[in-house]
Chain A
Amino acid sequence: MLSIKNLRAGIEGKEIIKGFNLEVKAGEVHAIMGPNGSGKSTLSNVLAGREDYVVTSGEVLFKEKNILEMSPEDRAREGLFLAFQYPIEIPGVSNINFLKTAINEIRAYKGLPPMEAKDFLKMVKEKQALVELQGSLANRSVNEGFSGGEKKRNEIFQMAMLEPTLAILDETDSGLDIDALRIVANGVNKLRSPQRSFIVITHYQRLLDYIVPDYVHVMYEGKIVKSGGKELALELEEKGYDWIKKEAVEA
């Protein structure tokens, strides 16, 4: 589904991703962990197509298509979704309105007619329940006045509405209390399917208690320095990142 080969990228002339490789197959959940400043968020921004970031070499194939050539909207229409680390507030743009536009533009891209209003509303109701998001929040302006937890739940709600094939969760657990974390993780787990893959970027092992990954990768200085199963996360929790850094330097 996703194949990243020898990716190098940066911002304002500074290289941050330094030869990154990753293969994600359909239905898999990959966790990317790593200390602050290792390039995790840059990776998610590069994959989503943020224009401030410049890719200098390497390739990213998503469903066999080179997405580095695509606009952010076309990547989304191909089925890529980024749950933002810091979802921004957009006063005056209604959550529901913008999702309706998004869904219909994605459908148009696929050559499908716009969704019927009643089907859309039914879907909104269903997916809201998934992340226990109150109806009133869905109808408000995008993230305006939402608490930290509500913003993250809104990200997962949008993900549920857009039904991506690959979702990247960028530190979705940051700033969440344990109840909100459980709700968000539950929402994600309900969306897991053999056709849908996830990349879960996180700093802490805690989230992985709830969203159990198939693979855990440690990112340091712009690349993956260690990969393993879910037990690697536990090891990191116990020992911290220092031994990884040391290993990386020695290698």
Chain B
Amino acid sequence: MTAVEKISATEKLASDFEVVKKNLPGNSFVQNIRQKAIESFSAIGIPARKNEEYKYSNVQKLFGEGWKVGKLENWKVDVQPGKYFISNLDAHIIVLVNGFFSEELSSLKDPDKTIVVSSLQKAFEKYPELIEKHLSTCADINSDAFIALNTAYTADGVFINVPDNTVVEKPIHIINLIAAKESRLFFPRNLFIVGKNAQVQLVETFDTHDLRVKAIGASVTEIAIDENAKVQYYRLQNENENGQQINTVCTSQQRNSHFDTNTVTLSGGWVRNNLNIALNGENCETHLNGLFLASENNYVDNHTLIDHRKPHCESNQTYKGILDGKSTGVFNGKIFVQRDAQKTNAYQSSKNILLSDDATINTKPQLEIYADDVKCSHGSSTGRIDEDALFYLRARGLSIESAKKLLLHAFVNDVLQTIRIDALREHLETLIHKKLD
């Protein structure tokens, strides 16, 4: 064995960075953050399973195979984006290919002049003051190896700025496509800034376009939500079995703001979602809903962290999973209630149905409460399809298959009902219907 083969993934990523960094975009401010980020990444390293946060996610194995750092420039791929549209969804369309904003495939419908939707690369040049104010503020490079790694390698992604008092009428649909011919690593980075009293609906879909080799996407999305703003953020993950993702979403909410998010995972070989919410102002509301359907050898891991830092905030989480085959699911929900966060209302629920003997789910609520006048509750349940309900329906003439399907639809229905864009909800209902068939 040669010395080169012996170096760890952490070391390789750190040394590759030295090679590619001169081609990475951004001014000295951005370059400075990159440098700090790679140092932090080198110090933390790719987490081992003894790291409590990655106990079930074998990321060392993920990074053990023969991958390469992606070509850090725009990709030209022959894609008809229409295939990835959501029918009846009248939306602004943004297409990212391998994490790069594609100008030619994206189309903004009668964009309001005040809203900025652009590639992150461009935003580095055109809006340095916004970048300096917001980049790497929600996502702490010292808190997690993959935030650090993404921050160092950030090449492109979506930049959205919704100024104060602006309501974006149409949803913004971001289509993420992975289309690699060889095992690659991708680092998409999004920055969404939502001003005071502003409102926006964001839909992100994740698909693989003809991906025949394993790829790893390590993405970071930062959302800065200012006072009294309302943000709905929906993510639909539907990659093929070669898709492997570590997604981190970090939001910071200022007073009186609302954040609603749904994370729906219907497919994908290996998916880890980190969702970190910081409630930095009083009277905020945040609703986290999640749904996943795992089968075969799928791995779906949702880690949420809600940090209640100020009083009178409310957080609500409902995650549901249906696991079949040899799939594995994880739900880890951490809630911090800081000393100042009196009158906090925090609720968390995780419910799962196992359809096979070989499927596994690990759920773990973690509540750390330092304030004394709060209401916090959590609940978790895992089981099989309710036999009594199944018999009831069969006794009325339904086949066992139809009865199961009805019960599984019923199980996911309350999460689907939290989606407030009708076309998206109908699209999901159709996809779930097909998947449960």
Number of interface residues of B (CB under 8 A): 22
Q: Is A106 an interface residue, CB under 8 A from the partner?
A: yes
Q: Are A76 and B394 in contact (CB under 8 A)?
A: yes
A90 and B397 in contact, given A98-B406, A105-B402 (Cβ under 8 angstroms): no
Q: Is B395 an interface residue, CB under 8 A from the partner?
A: yes
Interface string of B387-411 (1 = CB under 8 A from A): 0110111111111101100110111
Q: Is B362 an interface residue, CB under 8 A from the partner?
A: no
Total number of residue pairs linking A and B with CB closer than 8 Å: 75
A48 and B395 in contact, given A88-B389, A92-B410, A101-B406 (Cβ under 8 angstroms): yes
Residues on B with beta carbons closer than 8 Å to the beta carbon of A97? 406
A72 and B394 in contact, given A88-B389, A105-B402 (Cβ under 8 angstroms): yes
Q: Are A98 and B393 in contact (CB under 8 A)?
A: yes
Q: Is A99 an interface residue, CB under 8 A from the partner?
A: yes
Interface string of A81-106 (1 = CB under 8 A from B): 11010011011110001110111011
Q: Is B169 an interface residue, CB under 8 A from the partner?
A: no
Q: Which residue from chain B places its CB closest to the CB of A74 in the assembled complex?
A: B397
Q: Are A162 and B396 in contact (CB under 8 A)?
A: yes
Q: Are B392 and A84 in contact (CB under 8 A)?
A: yes
Residues on B with beta carbons closer than 8 Å to the beta carbon of A77? 397
Q: Which of B406-435 contact A (CB under 8 A)?
A: 406-407, 409-411, 413-414
* Interface size range of chain A in the complex: 20 to 34
Taken together as a complex, chains A and B put the C-alpha atoms of A51 and B391 apart, in Å, by 9
Cβ distance A222 to chain B, nearest Cβ, rounded Å:
22
Q: Is A71 an interface residue, CB under 8 A from the partner?
A: yes
Chain A contacts to B: CB under 8 angstroms: 48-51, 71-73, 75-77, 81-82, 84, 87-88, 90-93, 97-99, 101-103, 105-106, 109, 141-142, 158, 162
Chain B contacts to A: CB under 8 angstroms: 386, 388-389, 391-400, 402-403, 406-407, 409-411, 413-414
List 12 A-B residue pairs with CB atoms under 8 Å apart, sorted by A's residue number.
Answer: A48-B395, A73-B397, A73-B398, A73-B399, A73-B403, A87-B392, A90-B386, A90-B410, A92-B409, A92-B411, A102-B398, A142-B392
The 9 A-B pairs with the shortest beta carbon distances in the complex, nearest first, are: A92-B410, A76-B397, A72-B394, A102-B397, A102-B396, A92-B413, A106-B397, A93-B410, A73-B394
